[in-house]
Structure 1
Amino acid sequence: MKLFDKPQVLYFLSECKKYLGIEANSTSKTEKIISGIGALIGILLCQIVTLQYFNTGESLLLIASMGATATLIYALPHGALSQPWSVLGGHFVSAIIGILSYQYISETLLASSVAVGGAVLVMYFLRCLHPPGGATALFCTQGGETVHELGFNFLIEPLLQNVVILIGVAILFNGLFSWRRYPAHLNFRHIKNQSLSYLSHEDFSAALLQLDSFVDVSTEELAVIFDRAMAHADSNKPQRKLLLKTGSFYSNGSLGEGWNIKQITNIENSKITYKVMLGNNNGLIEECGQRAFRQWAKFEVEYVQGSWIKRTEN
């Protein structure tokens, strides 16, 4: 008797991916390369500026903070955490709290902890939550004598210069590509919603509010995503009689745990043999009648750039 069969192992691995937060990445290779080039340019300029004020060892924490910011604004230019106010406000608020923590709390460990915790709290209230800000706050407490001597002058030299460089390069660099304008509003303001006849901006805001947890997506971007999904659904409505083909993939169109992708491996008379490719019973091979399979299948799908989408009619 087998301790583990293949479907159980595949299901376990699928659940592990979900708990680890490993999602399908639908971005193209071109988009990935563009993000890397943008980050390279931005952080190179930041290092050149920062080394005018600190030596290599002293600048490590600050450069690490700027590197995290570069990752956000070049890889996720439309993310809520990547927008100019989050970048500018997040770093400045964090730096101010970090400087005050060092000046008024003598114990370094406590000062660093208060700086990071205080930075997160204030960034939340000022709507400029930016994760790299925590590293900036830490730098102001543990950056060494040079940064301590600068005091509030650090806000201008070199922090403001670094932030302006990253935002400026992001505006210019992302502006070269029509699908990734920065700030995000430049990308969305020309898009007109056509299919949202009964959903409004306020409905999406209410939905995000009910989550009671910060989500790195703006209401504007969420509305555009939903609108495009609705448009795609309207243009790819299920066929009245789905054509079943050996080797093709099919979905039941469900959401969440009920979602399944199955591949037909053989069709013989009225019987179909299929393999569960994704979802519950992953890896399971079973047989059923064509009528039963048609009742389950909503549409044919294909795997494109890491995501399953409806197969477009040729």
Structure 2
Amino acid sequence: MAIYKSLLNFFGFESDRVSNTEILVSTLGSVAGITLVAYISFQITGAQGASLIVPSMGASAVLLFAVPHGRLSQPWSLIGGHLVSAVIGVSVYHLVPDIYLASGLAVGLAIGAMHILGCIHPPGGATALAAIIGGPAIHALGYQYVMAPILLNVTVILVVAITFNNAFPWRRYPANLMRFSEAPAINTARAEHVIDKKHIEQAITDMDLVVDVTSDDLQRLFILSQEHADRLRMTPDGIQLGRYYTNGRHGIEWSVRQIIDEAGHAEPAKNMVIYRVVEGHGLHSASSCTRREFANWAARELKPNS
């Protein structure tokens, strides 16, 4: 058993996985993205094969539809990563006659350029390599390769990613479109343990890492981990008028509610709150419950992003 676990760790196998709903959404998004890239590119260019759609778009689809909130999936990474890699790939093909050296230089220089420009996008390496080994159809395009198929493919899949991902309330693409973020901790007894986003960014810089998770998501990960560890729940006294709360669920069960009114009672157990659903499951509906019931539902407070 120990050897088995060691092998799993060695190969980076993760036992946890996302929900079946998330798997289905990712799958459908990728199908829609690549289908439309191929169809629209053909309608515009009339090209076939490698001149129509580059294989690296398949890799981009994995990022845009399976991990849309990831740092490497964001629009600048997608656009900048593919375009700079395409330019480098074509340039190296024309300057370096040896195909083996040209292949290595194209990918290596593309990675360096993406680092410098802050647009790391792994499929960009494949875009650069395709300019070298893509065959006569690609070579004949010259620098036109940058515009079509690359820029055309990127534009189509970006539009599909924005449209598709934002159709689901628990997804936002680009990630900066998220309407809510974690509210500042108001429990002074635990304030010393709250990790600020700037601390996370500094730690990543200190470790000289490229992490395919935004600092906002890392901060949320730490907050959720801390909550699970401490078994913390909202208290009735912590539920306040006008504020926003989430149940912390994932997928279709995720929801954000705002307290819009309250009704006191001589018996604290019968204190009522009225809320409206502003995001996720039950959007635009309103209801009421006791303050304690709401506290049991709520996982944490959120604040609107201005």
| TM-score, normalised via structure 1 length | 0.67
1:210 matched residue in structure 2: 206
Whole-Å Cα distance in 2 between the matches of residues 63 and 96 of structure 1? 14
CA contact (8 A) 1:194 1:227 kept: no
Q: Count residues in correspondence.
A: 226
Verify the 8 A CA contact 1:119 1:137 in the aligned structure 2: yes
Cα distance in structure 2, aligned partners of 1:16 and 1:50: 44
Q: CA deviation at 1:211?
A: 2.5
Provide the residue aligned with 1:35 in structure 2: 26
Q: Find the counterpart in structure 1 of residue 97 from structure 2.
A: 106
Given candidates 182, 191, 199, the residue that maps to 1:197 is 191
Pairwise CA distance, 1:13: 0.9
Aligned residue in 2 for 1:55: 48
Q: RMSD of the TM alignment (CA)? A: 2.1
Could you tell me which residue of structure 1 aligns to residue 60 of structure 2?
69
Counterpart Cα distance in 1 of 2:6 and 2:169: 37
Asked whether the equivalents of residues 193 and 224 of structure 1 are also in contact (C-alpha less than 8 Å), the reply is no
Query: Does the 8 Å contact 2:88/2:106 carry over to 1?
Result: yes
Listed as ranges, the gaps of 5+ residues in structure 1 are 1-9, 238-311
How far off is 1:55 after superposition?
Answer: 2.6
TM-superposition CA deviations, 1:18-48 (whole Å, max 9, x none): 1111113331000000000000000111222
Could you tell me whether the CA contact under 8 Å between 1:112 and 1:138 is conserved in 2? Answer: yes
Distance 1:53 1:132, change over 3 A: farther
Could you list the per-position Cα deviations for residues 205-229 of structure 1 after superposition, in whole angstroms to 9, with x for gaps in the alignment?
1221233231211111111221222
Gaps of 5+ in 2: 234-298, 300-306
Amino acid at match of 2:21: T
Larger radius of gyration: 1
Question: Quick one: which of 5, 10, 26 aligns to 1:19?
Answer: 10
The 3 A distance-change label for structure 1 pair 128 and 74 is: same
- The question of 1:46 aligning with 2:40 is answered no
User: 1:233-312 alignment to 2 at 5 Å?
Assistant: 233-236=229-232
Residue 150 (structure 2) aligns with: 159
Separation in structure 1 between the aligned mates of residue 120 and residue 196 of structure 2, nearest angstrom: 25
Q: Give the whole-Å Cα distance in 1 for the aligned partners of 2:62 and 2:155.
A: 15
TM-score calculated relative to the size of structure 2: 0.69
Candidates 116, 130, 134, aligned match of 1:139: 130
Partner SS for 1:191: strand
Q: Does 1:118 align with 2:112?
A: no
2-structure distance, mates of 1:233, 1:127: 35
What percent of counterpart residues are identical? 39
Cα distance between partner residues in 2 of 1:73 and 1:26: 18
Query: Which moved further from structure 2: 31-40 or 176-185?
Result: 176-185
Distance 1:81 1:158 in 2: 21
